[in-house]
């Protein structure tokens, strides 16, 4: 791996750290405002709206200039979104602005990896990127809960008497500084020297080009499988983040700060799984992990019977390990097919559109279940059945493509982009 890759890794860690800390701090702020609990999953939904609405434009933007520059601009937007929450803007609207920056950041973040590294290193690179992202989720959720706690706020007020903000807004102010540091790291990412063809600028042309890219990836016999799987998994992951928060508070009697720390154990498992995938799953064998997806769904049913923290810890780690081991090869395979068929920025934009549309739909369903007071355990059963059934259908779909179209051979194709 190159020095540039490790700079990208560090920038991604701190940017994602702030994203996850801000989510917990925003939930704490909603609770300070005595907002309805059904608004909490909508925070994440508002964050992902930009990924869906801006998908036709962010890929072209990421490919139109050096990606380090794109990452700096978009992290600056995150700073602004975080800061306006301090001035009375509703948390959902402010978090949507942060999502605007994240939506444009993502194609550059993942696209630059395919520009820096050859295809045979993509699984390993994605393993490191996934591990860094998961570690940022671990520390971010814990940091958000810690900074939002009354204990931390009291200590800060006693140490720095000029602080007059509430616990949640104090946390948000500190998180703004983390975003700013990530933006500074983006400034030292070197230009890869990759140049794509002239990008369209008119909105209609961009939408038309994006839709064509989307259809191209969905029609590819290998791309459609990895895209379907990652789309489902990211939607489920977003819902499970809130289900675990609610479950830890309802069944284990934990506070928001303690429940957010429970998510850290899912992150620990995901890190282990991601690193194992990076070490043992080569790109040519990426499809071999597809059956693992069904076990992710089945394992979640165990939440119904866990009443002890000590039983919950290994379960969280196990679920995370399955997800991490599964998603890394799927992401690498999807990036490779996207890079071969499209371009780095456009392929990631297509991926983000589909995955975040899934997140938006899944979170809207969960918010609806909460709004109508559907019991938590019934909601868990619903999502377990949905995940397991869809993963089984996707596996059967892959087997069909393998037999009838020799889909696995597509992994060996090489991209033909102009480099200067």
Q: Which of 160-174, 188-202, 261-275, 355-369 has the lowest mean pLDDT?
A: 188-202
Contact 94, 52 (CB under 8 A): no
- Give the domain ranges of the chain: 3-190+204-412
The model's confidence at residue 1, banded by pLDDT at 50, 70 and 90, is low
Q: State which fold the 3-190+204-412 domain adopts.
A: Growth Hormone; Chain: A; (1.20.1250)
Residue 201: pLDDT band (50, 70, 90) is low
Average pLDDT over the chain, rounded to an integer: 83
Model confidence pLDDT, tens digit, residues 4-57: 778 888 888 999 999 989 999 999 999 888 888 778 888 888 888 887 887 777
- Residue 346, pLDDT > 80, answer no
Within 86-130, strands assigned E span: none
Beta strands in 155-219 (DSSP E): none
Interval 80-108 mean pLDDT:
88
Question: Among 102, 60, 136, which residue's Cα sits nearest to residue 355?
Answer: 102
Is residue 236 scored above 90 in pLDDT?
no
pLDDT at 193: 61
Name the pLDDT band for 297 (thresholds 50, 70, 90): confident
Among 93, 60, 337, 390, residue whose Cα is nearest residue 200: 60
Per-residue pLDDT, averaged over 386-390, amounts to 90
Predicted local confidence at residue 345, as pLDDT: 62
Lowest-pLDDT choice from 29-33, 200-204, 287-291: 200-204
DSSP state, residue 197: S
Per-residue pLDDT, 420: 39
- The percentage of residues in the chain with a pLDDT greater than 90, rounded to a whole number, is 15
Backbone φ and ψ for 251, nearest 5 degrees, come out as: -95, -25
Q: What is the pLDDT of residue 22?
A: 93
Q: Let me know if 202 is exposed, middle or buried by CB neighbors in 10 A (0-12, 13-18, 19+).
A: exposed
Distance from C-alpha of 308 to C-alpha of 414, rounded to nearest angstrom: 51
pLDDT of res. 412: 64
300-341, pLDDT tens digit by residue?
Answer: 888 888 888 888 888 889 888 888 888 888 888 887 787 788
Mean pLDDT lowest for which of 200-214, 305-319, 382-396? 200-214
pLDDT per residue as tens digits for the range 220-230: 888 888 899 98
The answer to whether the beta carbons of residues 125 and 112 sit under 8 Å apart is no
Give pLDDT, residue 418.
Answer: 43
Structure tokens at 9: 């890794």
The pTM for the full model equals 0.76
Q: Would you report the helix, strand and coil content of the chain in percent, each value rounded to 5? A: 85, 0, 15
Burial 370-382 (b: 16+ CB within 10 A, else e): beeeeebeebbee
**Phi, psi (5° rounding) for residue 372?**
-90, 10
Local structure of 419: helix, strand or coil: strand
In the predicted structure, residue 243 carries a pLDDT above the cut 50 = yes
Question: Checking phi first, is residue 193 left (phi over 0); if not, alpha (psi -120 to 50) or beta?
Answer: left
């Amino acid at each position: 791996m190159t020095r540039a890759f490790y700079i990208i890794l560090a920038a991604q860690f701190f940017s994602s750290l702030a994203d996850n800390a801000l989510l917990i701090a925003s939930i704490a702020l909603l609770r300070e405002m005595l907002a309805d609990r059904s608004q909490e999953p909508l925070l994440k939904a508002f964050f992902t709206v930009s990924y869906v609405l801006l998908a036709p434009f962010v890929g072209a933007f990421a490919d139109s200039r050096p990606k380090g520059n794109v990452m700096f601009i978009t992290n600056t937007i995150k700073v602004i979104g975080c800061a306006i929450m301090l001035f009375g803007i509703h948390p959902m609207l402010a978090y949507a602005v942060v999502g605007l920056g994240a939506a444009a950041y993502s194609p550059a973040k993942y696209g630059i990896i395919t520009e820096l590294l050859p295809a045979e290193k993509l699984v390993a690179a994605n393993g490191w990127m996934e591990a860094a992202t998961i570690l940022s989720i671990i520390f971010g959720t814990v940091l958000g809960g810690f900074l939002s706690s009354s204990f931390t706020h009291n200590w800060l007020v006693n140490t720095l008497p000029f602080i007059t903000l509430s616990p949640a807004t104090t946390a948000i102010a500190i998180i703004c500084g983390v975003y700013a540091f990530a933006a500074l790291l983006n400034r030292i990412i070197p230009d890869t020297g990759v140049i794509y063809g002239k990008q369209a600028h008119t909105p209609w042309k961009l939408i038309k080009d994006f839709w064509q890219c989307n259809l191209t990836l969905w029609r590819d016999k290998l791309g459609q499988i990895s895209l379907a799987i990652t789309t489902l998994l990211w939607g489920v992951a977003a819902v499970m983040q809130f289900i675990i928060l609610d479950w830890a508070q309802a069944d284990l009697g934990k506070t928001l700060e303690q429940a957010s720390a429970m998510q850290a154990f899912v992150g620990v498992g995901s890190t282990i799984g991601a690193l194992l995938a990076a070490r043992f799953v080569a790109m040519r064998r990426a499809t071999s992990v597809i059956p693992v997806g069904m076990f992710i769904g089945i394992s979640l049913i165990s939440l119904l019977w866990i009443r002890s923290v000590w039983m919950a810890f290994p379960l969280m780690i196990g679920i995370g390990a399955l997800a991490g081991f599964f998603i890394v090869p799927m992401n690498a395979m999807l990036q490779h097919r996207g890079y071969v068929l499209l371009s780095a920025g456009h392929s990631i934009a297509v991926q983000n559109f589909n995955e975040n549309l899934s997140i938006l739909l899944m979170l809207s369903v969960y918010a609806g279940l909460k709004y109508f007071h559907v019991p938590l355990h019934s909601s868990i059963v619903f999502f377990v059945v949905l995940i397991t059934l869809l993963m089984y259908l996707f596996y059967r779909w892959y087997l069909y493509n393998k037999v009838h179209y020799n889909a696995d051979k597509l992994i060996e194709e090489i991209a033909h982009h102009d480099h200067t």
